[in-house]
Structure 1
Amino acid sequence: MAKKAKVSVNPNFRIGNISKRIYGAFMEPIGSIVYGNMYNPKHPTADEQGFRKDWIEALKKTDVPAVRLPGGNFVSGWDWKDSIGPKENRKEHLDLAWHQYYPNDVGHDEYLQWAEKVGLEPMYTINLGTGGINDAIYNVEYTNHEGGTYWSELRKKNGHEKPYGVKVWYLGNEMDGPWQVASWEKDPRGYGILANETSKAMKWVDGSIETAVCVSSSPDLSHFPDWDLQVLKECYNSVDYISMHHYQSAEIGNYAQFMAASRYYEDYIRTEIGLCDYVQALMHSPKVMKLSLDEYGVMPLPKKELHFGRERYVEPGTHYAFDPERKYVRHDPDNMPSRSFPPMDPMLMALGNAGVIMEMLRHADRVKIGCMTSGLGVAAGCDHDHVFTIPAYYPYADLMKYGHGISLQTAVDCEKYDLESFALDDTHKYHEQNQVDFIDSAAAYDTETGELTVFVINRDWEDSADFTLDITGLTGMRFEGHTEMFTENRTPDEEADKNLAPTEAKDTVCNEMTVKAELKPLSWNVFRFVKEV
């Protein structure tokens, strides 16, 4: 029996302006994403720099606005200066983060030039692990200064006459993580002071840039949120964003856990907003800190053995291993692994990250950047021979295409479920979530074009919803349509992917700005309205 559900939207209840950067992606040279998808000089479509044109063209057809690069844990041991100039003179290094050889065939300039070719805004992460203030100064000077100095003229000599104009700079990566090369886990105040001084110096090179400081790299760590507080007290007035990371996990096959994932992001975002506002008060500062959720994902994990008595303790073997038998690997871009399929219902993989983006929309006044960790692969899947579309692309594409303008509050009235606390291993432990709405929603209103879009997920994995959408507060609008995406085939395979795409809902009706629709179990729904001419 279908459950009753209602969402109401009123144009007067505004959250804030939506930044297009919340639809960004994250890139780090792990596996084949860089040496394979991005760069393969032997590929039939490779251009003069070795970039795969088939993947570039596929990404250009999407609305992905920005990419954070070149990492990731990788940057904390990477010297960007070793990656510029003629390739035959570049230095190859061990990448301690991912136990790989890094040849620097794709270096500083290649990352930024590839972003130019795709049409993405690059958001750059500097090394504040083994790097320092001078490295940061030289990097900004090389990247953004017009000319007349050693580093800016070296950029020209290396083939890029004009400055790259990178606007957003991340002050290191996950600097609290014990897995990080040169981690500041034990000294948040020291990192905060370093971030403060580095941000000042970088802005003295280029006063137009914005900087983002690392806070706790996961709300699962035992020092969250005190580590964040100690950092922010040292650098609040010199930075523009806090850099937040979180990967929410669910046990394979557990729908209740997976569909409640965005609730944990809501907890995380609210905690960080409260913390920033507290520090703002301490500093007597007029600055309202912005949030950058620049690594996120919802993913299935197998349940492992728990070791009781190690509450929230980060095991060395969990995040880094001292294994004498482990060998460094060299990734051959011409020998990429075959396409794989996640071990879960394909709709779960499509809806998980969409739910996180909707959470960012509901905090659009503060969250201004979002970088989906798998975002480039979601926007355009890629293996050695083909680019292809996966089901997760469609909600992402809808959000990028229609989720602009002003974010509006959505009032939800629906049935709910309770999720018990659960643990997947010693570090992935989650508190209970009470009264989880079966209906998840967000709305975007473009005042310039008069378009309203309401995004709705039916989280219920068993029952349909007898759904009402009330927008009677919006006058002069016309119902444009309702697209839905769902499947009864819950097997993760190529056949399921091919047959899973949004279609027009035929039985949805709208009468006097009240829409009646059936929301299928575990479905993605987009309701669109346009201004009457």
Structure 2
Amino acid sequence: MESKLTISKKFKISEVDPRIYGSFIEHMGRAVYEGIYQPDHPSANEQGFRQDVIELVKELNSPLIRYPGGNFLSGYNWEDGVGPKEQRPKRLDLAWRSLETNEVGMHEFAQWIELVDSEINMAVNLGTRGIDEARNLVEYCNFEGGTYWSEQRKKNGQEKPFGIKTWCLGNEMDGPWQIGHKTADEYGRLAEEAGKAMKLVDESIELVLCGSSNSHMPTFGEWELTVLDHAYEQIDYLSLHQYYGNPEDDLEHYLARSLDMDEFIQGVIAICDSIKAKKHSKKQINLSFDEWNIWYHSNEHDEQVKPWQVAPPLLEDHYNFEDALLLGCLLITLLKHSDRVKIACLAQLVNVIAPIMTETDGVAWRQTIFYPFMQVSNYGRGTVLTPIIEAPTYKTSDFEAVPYLETIAVLNEEQNEVILFAVNRGKEDMTFTIETTDFAMKKIIEFTEMAGFDIKDTNTANQETIKPKQSMRYELNEEKLSVKLAPLSWNMIRCEV
């Protein structure tokens, strides 16, 4: 099987906003407690954070982490998580029917964020709460001093403002499962007024408006049109959420799910631009794909978890090799839309549908999906080049032409590199030819592949066998690069230019 990619420095999609490699920590399951925070663990630092988890998170190089939810957000009182720990109330978390101790709150999470070299993507509760609590939280986090809430922050040990830039206006407010679920008109008006108040406190912040919880919601499209019509001038981004799975055990259909993501993004861009035209606005709304991942392995287990526990095991999907292949395809799709997708959050980061898992009394370890995300986050920085692709295709139940090759190129001019990411969806070797029209590829710096595994193989705490390895199957001359992509493989090629 043969395929070809042609690229040119003249034809660019966009500079990559590093926030596209964001992630997500929600107060649910073992994401916070026994995930990032476990004071009695041998690796815990003085603040109670697991150092082994910190080191793995730093490998992912994720510059923005969404917090504190998720569905948890819509019943959360942020004031419960500040002040002396011994005085913080224990609360029922109605979203996940768990017991929240509030040992970790705003200050603790900010400390952890600093340890992993990231920034907070803060979310405000617009389910059970509203405008007042939202503007008070911005004042608490970002105002210099001399007011009630900014002085409370100082009293609680944080003299300088946290300086949080990115804020989410609620979570999945279109979903009937959401505490405080609202109609599009109800939410649109609330988000408009909350956003207005928040920006009056700090005009430098950027706001994310809730789009649909997924593209299959019965209100998808109409929801976006309505909430944007209300809040367009106050907000900066519209959110998208989507999870994928393979419950039918149909590999060809599963690996084509990135085409579904592509259609979803294109549809939401069209809606944003239609409201822009309707309002005669010069302002462009970009996208925040602030929940995306693979989620289906743990569904049956979660139904058996007893309620009202502290940090029960929830959504602990154990990812296999085919999941890593799809995750690579999804990352490439996000990069193809880097002109409009400026923020994205892999949901989530630790233990809960996550690339990183922890053993309560043992090690932290990398799941199969860790590696494609780590490679793209670390090396997919620079300018995304418009891909001209020639590849054979196959047909699925919902797509007429799924290319066997999924690929994108990122030019990092500071490092004099072009980085190629590619997935071979097929079950045979692929000869992949890369031609450049206006620059030369001088040498291969690195060519790694994840290939040769059974598609159902997983990593474990004791054995991380599914990971990239070096490949030498390439030929490079002044005009083109030719590489062999193994069947069912994730590949990264770094070329000096």
Do both proteins adopt the same fold according to a TM-score greater than 0.5, normalized to the shorter chain? yes
1:487 maps to amino acid = G
Q: 1:337 to 1:292 in 2, by over 3 A?
A: closer
Partner residue, 2:205: 209
5 Å matches for 1:45-444? 45-184=43-182, 187-300=183-296, 328-331=307-310, 341-342=318-319, 346-376=320-350, 380-384=356-360, 385-420=362-397, 432-444=398-410
Partner residue, 1:467: 432
Task: Select between 464-473 and 62-71 the one with higher mean Cα deviation.
Answer: 464-473
Q: 1:356 to 1:131 in 2, by over 3 A?
A: same
2:342 maps to amino acid = K
Task: Select between 238-247 and 382-391 the one with higher mean Cα deviation.
Answer: 382-391
Contact between 1:248 and 1:297, CA under 8 Å: does it hold in 2?
yes
CA apart distance, 1:327? 5.3
Distance in 2 of aligned mates of 1:457 and 1:209: 37
CA displacement 1:219-249 (0-9 Å, x = unmatched):
1111111111010000111100001111123
Contact between 1:64 and 1:379, CA under 8 Å: does it hold in 2?
no
Distance in 2 of aligned mates of 1:296 and 1:443: 22
Root mean square deviation of aligned Cα: 2.4
Give the TM-score of the pair, scaled to structure 2: 0.94
1:39 maps to amino acid = Y
CA apart distance, 1:493? 4.1
Partner residue, 2:38: 40
Distance in 1 of aligned mates of 2:21 and 2:305: 37
Partner residue, 1:15: 13
Provide the secondary structure at the position in 1 that maps to 2:265: helix
Partner residue, 1:487: 452
CA apart distance, 1:158? 0.7
CA displacement 1:67-121 (0-9 Å, x = unmatched):
1011100010011112211122112111111011111111222222221222211
1:288 maps to amino acid = Q
Distance in 2 of aligned mates of 1:337 and 1:249: 17
Q: 1:89 to 1:259 in 2, by over 3 A?
A: same
Q: 1:240 to 1:494 in 2, by over 3 A?
A: closer
CA displacement 1:173-221 (0-9 Å, x = unmatched):
001000000001xx21221111111111111111111000001111111
2:94 maps to amino acid = L
CA apart distance, 1:65? 1.3
1:445 maps to amino acid = L
Task: Select between 117-126 and 106-115 the one with higher mean Cα deviation.
Answer: 106-115
Distance in 2 of aligned mates of 1:514 and 1:230: 49
1:442 maps to amino acid = I
CA displacement 1:28-48 (0-9 Å, x = unmatched):
122111110111122122233
Q: 1:472 to 1:358 in 2, by over 3 A?
A: same
Contact between 1:245 and 1:295, CA under 8 Å: does it hold in 2?
yes
Provide the secondary structure at the position in 1 that maps to 2:35: helix
1:171 maps to amino acid = L
1:486 maps to amino acid = A
2:310 maps to amino acid = H
Determine whether 1:510 maps to 2:476.
yes
Quick one: percent identity of the two aligned structures?
37
Distance in 2 of aligned mates of 1:246 and 1:476: 37
Partner residue, 1:528: 494
Contact between 1:456 and 1:525, CA under 8 Å: does it hold in 2?
yes
1:382 maps to amino acid = T
- Structure 2, unmatched stretches of 5+, are none
Distance in 2 of aligned mates of 1:465 and 1:99: 49
Provide the secondary structure at the position in 1 that maps to 2:246: strand
2:143 maps to amino acid = H
Q: 1:503 to 1:513 in 2, by over 3 A?
A: farther
CA apart distance, 1:331? 2.3
Q: 1:507 to 1:56 in 2, by over 3 A?
A: closer
1:116 maps to amino acid = E
Q: 1:210 to 1:338 in 2, by over 3 A?
A: closer
Distance in 2 of aligned mates of 1:376 and 1:472: 42
2:469 maps to amino acid = T
CA displacement 1:253-297 (0-9 Å, x = unmatched):
321121001111001100000000000001111111110000011
Q: 1:332 to 1:279 in 2, by over 3 A?
A: closer
Q: 1:376 to 1:404 in 2, by over 3 A?
A: farther
Distance in 2 of aligned mates of 1:102 and 1:14: 47
Provide the secondary structure at the position in 2 that maps to 1:286: coil
Distance in 2 of aligned mates of 1:405 and 1:169: 25
Distance in 2 of aligned mates of 1:126 and 1:337: 23
Task: Select between 401-410 and 384-393 the one with higher mean Cα deviation.
Answer: 384-393
Contact between 2:474 and 2:482, CA under 8 Å: does it hold in 1?
yes
Contact between 1:28 and 1:72, CA under 8 Å: does it hold in 2?
yes
Distance in 2 of aligned mates of 1:133 and 1:215: 19
Distance in 2 of aligned mates of 1:348 and 1:518: 20
1:5 maps to amino acid = S
Contact between 2:441 and 2:495, CA under 8 Å: does it hold in 1?
no
Task: Select between 474-483 and 92-101 the one with higher mean Cα deviation.
Answer: 474-483
1:329 maps to amino acid = W
Contact between 2:350 and 2:358, CA under 8 Å: does it hold in 1?
no
Provide the secondary structure at the position in 2 that maps to 1:37: coil
Contact between 1:45 and 1:52, CA under 8 Å: does it hold in 2?
yes
Provide the secondary structure at the position in 1 that maps to 2:230: helix
Distance in 1 of aligned mates of 2:459 and 2:186: 50
Q: 1:448 to 1:512 in 2, by over 3 A?
A: same
Distance in 1 of aligned mates of 2:315 and 2:134: 38
Partner residue, 1:312: none
Q: 1:497 to 1:154 in 2, by over 3 A?
A: same
Count how many residue pairs are aligned between Structure 1 and Structure 2.
Answer: 492
CA displacement 1:370-412 (0-9 Å, x = unmatched):
1001344555432221022233222111101211111111111
Task: Select between 267-276 and 187-196 the one with higher mean Cα deviation.
Answer: 187-196
1:383 maps to amino acid = E
Distance in 1 of aligned mates of 2:315 and 2:275: 48
Distance in 2 of aligned mates of 1:491 and 1:409: 33
